[in-house]
Structure 1
Amino acid sequence: MIKPQTLKGFRDFLPQNVIKRQFIIDKIKKVFELYGFDPLETPALEYAETLLGKYGNEADKLLYLFKDRGGRNVGMRYDQTVPLARVIAQYKNEISFPFKRYQIQPVWRAENPQRGRFREFMQCDIDTVGIGGIRADTEIIACVIASIKKLGFKRAKMIVNDRTVFVHLQPKYVAAIDKLKKIGKEGVIAELISKGYDKNDAGKLINSFDAKKPTPHIISLFQLLREYGLEENKDYLFDPTLARGLDYYTSTIFELVADDYSSGSLGGGGRYDKLIGKFIGEDIPAVGFSFGFDRLLEAMDQLQLLPQLKSLTKVLVSVFSPEFLNISLKTVSLLRDAGINTEIVFDTNIKLDKQLKYADKKGIPYAAIIGPDEAKENTVTLKNLKTKEQNTMSIQNVIAILSLSKEKQSL
């Protein structure tokens, strides 16, 4: 017998979990589209040469690489930024610039699985390609702040820095500095020394960030953010130690944090003006952001911002007995035609109380009961399975009540 199990670092999502995930995705997509971003999808597999050398040595080690059945060296999508760069290069003459896209798909990384880290996970990205300067950066930040507010967060802000302040440092040292919030000054100093940085200067380097001021680039960026109605320290904040680990960032970098969530950032991004040039030989400016979907989900769960739904079905139409099956089916059709998610129990031998217990266990909030009296009067008894309250009414009133309940659920 085969043991039923998932691979380490991979997960199944049962319906009540998928409902929560879809709730977040639907909210984010609406804001992305409100800001003029259109959807893009790319394949799970890319040629290995497309992925290798774009992220840095440490990240390259986390790529899933293998030979396909045709002997080609391929890799699984590590993020959505490099595939976007490949798309721009491949379809440059077919797309309009500036190219504003959002992409919500899974990515794969050969991480060591631990709490909050998985080998397959979702990313929600927005990017603007073809505009240099800070105006596109500002809109990305404003869109992300609008998205996080739409999800219900009251205290979340974007941490911002200019990556050019690290231009004199080797990427391996920048990667160490990027861990400052996680491992503290002593931890970063130890890592810098282990990577070859002079032990007498490592402490001075870290302490030097305390005195750093925003660059002219960041000052101009913050002025534009104020024009969007955003407030410094509330919606965005300068942090000279923010580094972002990936090598392709060129100037503006940012991370989203929530004051009430302490397990890390909810996403990050920045400007990457040189990445697309690796594919076509000429630089095309670009800036983007990616939500860390699992952390976002965890934070919303902790802050009770997610719907507590086990099922998307709104009502179960009961079958009182075999002779009432046809009238129950007609009721189901009327409800579905009105846009009400409806289920029916087809086994006419199941007693009514068991049908109601099934609906309650599944998380269906209402039951529509049609017995002899209801059939005679052309009515339906609508029962709220949580409060146990029930009332007999016309099918039109049932539709009105369930439609109102559906609207409240989607808010």
Structure 2
Amino acid sequence: MSDSRNFRGTTDYWGPGAATRSSMVGIISTTFRSFGFEMLETPVIENEETLSGKYGPEGDMKRFRLVMKHKQAAGLRYDHTVPLARFMAMHWNKFPLPYRRFAIGPVFRNESPSAARLRQFTQCDFDTVGTRSPIVDAEIVAMNYEVLNKLGFSGAYTVMINDRRLLNAMVLHLGVADTGDGLAILRAWDKLEKVSLQQAFEQLVEELVIQHTAGVFPSPSDDQIQRLKRSTRSRLETTFLSATEKLLDMKEAPSSRLVDEMMAKFQDQKVHQALEDILTLLQYIDSMGVPSNCYQFNPLMARGLDYYTGPIFETYVKVGGVGSITGGGRFDNLIQQMGGPNMPASGSSFGLERLQEVMRQLGIGIKSTSRPDVLVAIFDISNTTLVQQTFSVASDLRLTGLKVEVYTGDTRGLGKQFQVANSKKIPFVVVVGPDELRNNEVTLKDMGTGHQVSVARRSLVEYLTAALQTTE
């Protein structure tokens, strides 16, 4: 017997669940288009050299690599951002800039699955390429706000905002010049939404000890490791730990006040310049009509992907422990890394499955229209004339935009067809029998009340449309 199971971390969608997803994608794509974005589709398979080294050590471990007979190395896309950068490197001179595109489709990550974290999931991504204007970055928050409100989130989320330039300046201010050490500190800061400061500190010590022993001691002894651990711990206590405690004390303050407090705490020109850029961004976001309770400057948010160069964003819901439901930022160097021109870009994405899970927890429903409006019954499959007229009625109804199913099952009795309509929650059934054909009319049955009525063919659309409005 074959093993009929999903690959772990993937799932099937059907019926109302698939209809809800389709409605959500419709809302999201319509919002993207309302901001002037057009659709781009890229393959789910990319060359290994396209994907390699773009997501940091942790991201690289989670990528799906393909094993193939021929020599070309490839993998499944991890996100939509790197494929966009590859596309722009190939086609940057074929359309006017800025180029505003969105992409909706599956991405793949080899990580431990959970209800809201799958190995194949749908990302709804939007990016603007070809401009360094902070208006683009502010627009990311405005688009998140628009989409989430249209999906039914009403103040149940916060868009977190930071800037990698600020993070880099703070790391340098702490006296950390080594790039590897700096990235490790950023990763430690980024963990603080999930673990305590002490846990993040201990993990940072371990990570730096591993990095330094690999570079200094080919085969370190236990004594060497312990001495390095003590010196690393002492150094980080006076730099990382002290600064992080101060930032944690300040981070709940309103965004503009937090910028002012950090200006006073960090007497550093690069830190001040980054903070001024953040203040400008916050002013633009406010001018776009986003309420201040929907976004927050968070100086410790880092986002793990290595390609970010400027403002970064994550949206967190206030219940459920699902984590972020949107994420993005500015990636000004990625297209050039792909062999294209020096071309700035910025964008963000929604995780469809995480959105669904949070909406389930919050009791947010999306009106979906998976079921047909009407089932057209087959009175007698052996009567060619009746069948032809049945198809004609169905075609007339579809031309008006109604969703129409013609019964195609093996059972021919009307009673069984009414049962099918009930099981599918189809509200009306149309029957064309010999009497109806002779009188140029149909029988329309309301499956909710059981009431039947004869309706003239020429009046069916108007009658059925009005009846459907009363059932909504």
Q: TM-score, normalised by structure 1?
A: 0.91
What corresponds to 2:282 in structure 1?
A: 222
Question: CA offsets, 1:310-337, max 9 Å, x none?
Answer: x342211112334443332221121122
Q: Which among 237, 240, 262 is matched to residue 200 of structure 1? A: 237
Paired residues for 1:119-268 under 5 Å: 119-155=119-155, 156-167=157-168, 168=171, 170-196=182-208, 198=233, 200-201=237-238, 202-209=240-247, 210-211=249-250, 213-214=258-259, 215-233=275-293, 235-259=294-318, 261-268=320-327
Question: Is the alpha carbon distance of 1:135 and 1:388 closer, same or farther for their aligned partners in structure 2, counting shifts above 3 Å?
Answer: same
TM-aligned CA distance change 1:358 to 1:34, over 3 Å: same
Listed one character per residue, the Cα deviations across residues 108-134 of structure 1 (whole Å, up to 9, x for unaligned) are: 111122232211111000000111031
Distance verdict in 2 for CA 1:298–1:383, change over 3 Å: farther
Alignment-mate amino acid for residue 132 of structure 2: G
- 8 Å CA contact 1:319–1:348 kept in 2: the answer is no
RMSD: 2.5
Distance 1:399 1:221, change over 3 A: same
> Structure 1 residues 348 and 279 mapped into 2: Cα distance closer, same or farther (>3 Å)?
closer
Equivalent residue for 1:275, pick from 328, 334, 337: 334
Amino acid at match of 1:200: E
Alpha-carbon distance change, 62 to 405 in structure 1, aligned in 2, over 3 angstroms: farther
1:342 maps to what in 2? 404
Structure 1, gaps ≥5 residues long: none
**CA radius of gyration, larger in:** 2
Q: How far, CA to CA, are the matches of 1:387 and 1:194 in structure 2? A: 69
CA deviation digits over 1:81-137, x for unaligned, max 9?
Answer: 011111111112212210100000111111122232211111000000111031111
Question: d(CA) in 1 for partners of 2:23 and 2:121?
Answer: 17
Q: TM-score, normalised by structure 2?
A: 0.80
Identify the residue that residue 115 of structure 1 maps to in structure 2: 115
Name the CA shift for 1:334/1:73 in 2 (closer, same or farther; >3 Å).
Answer: same
Shift of 1:281: 6.4
* TM-superposition CA deviations, 1:187-219 (whole Å, max 9, x none): 323322332363634532431213363311121
Match of 1:356 among 418, 421, 428: 418
- Greater shift after overlay, 366-375 or 268-277? 366-375
Q: In structure 2, the residue corresponding to 1:92 is in which secondary structure?
A: helix
1:357-380 deviation digits (Å, cap 9, x = unpaired): 112212323222334554444333
Are 2:353 and 1:294 equivalent residues in the alignment? yes
Rounded to whole Å, the distance in 1 between the matches of 2:466 and 2:69 is 53
Structure 1 residues 187 and 88, CA, compared in 2 at 3 Å: closer, same or farther?
Answer: same
Residues 187, 85 of structure 1: alpha-carbon distance in 2 compared, 3 angstrom cutoff: same
SS in 1 for 2:338: helix
8 A contact 2:89–2:340 mirrored in 1: no
Distance 2:402 2:457 in 1: 12
Conserved in 1, the CA contact under 8 Å of 2:117 and 2:354? Answer: no
Post-superposition offset of 1:402: 4.9
Pair 391,205 (structure 1): closer, same or farther in 2 beyond 3 Å: farther
Distance in 2 (CA, whole Å) between partners of 1:347 and 1:250 is 58
Instruction: Provide the residue aligned with 1:48 in structure 2.
Output: 48
| Partner of residue 14, structure 1 | 14
* Partner amino acid, structure 2, of 1:211: M
| Sequence identity (%) | 34
> Which secondary structure does the structure 1 equivalent of 2:147 belong to?
helix
Higher RCO (CA < 8 A, seq sep 6+): 2
One-letter code of the match for 1:181?
A: E
Deviates most, 44-53 or 327-336 = 327-336
Give the residue type in structure 2 aligned to 1:207.
E
8 Å CA contact retained: 2:167, 2:299: no
Name the CA distance, whole Å, in 1 between partners of 2:470 and 2:72: 51
The structure richer in helix per residue is: 2
Say which is worse superposed, 78-87 or 59-68, in terms of deviation: 59-68
Structure 2: tracts of 5 or more residues without a match:
172-180, 209-231, 252-257, 260-274
User: Deviation at 1:404?
Assistant: 6.2
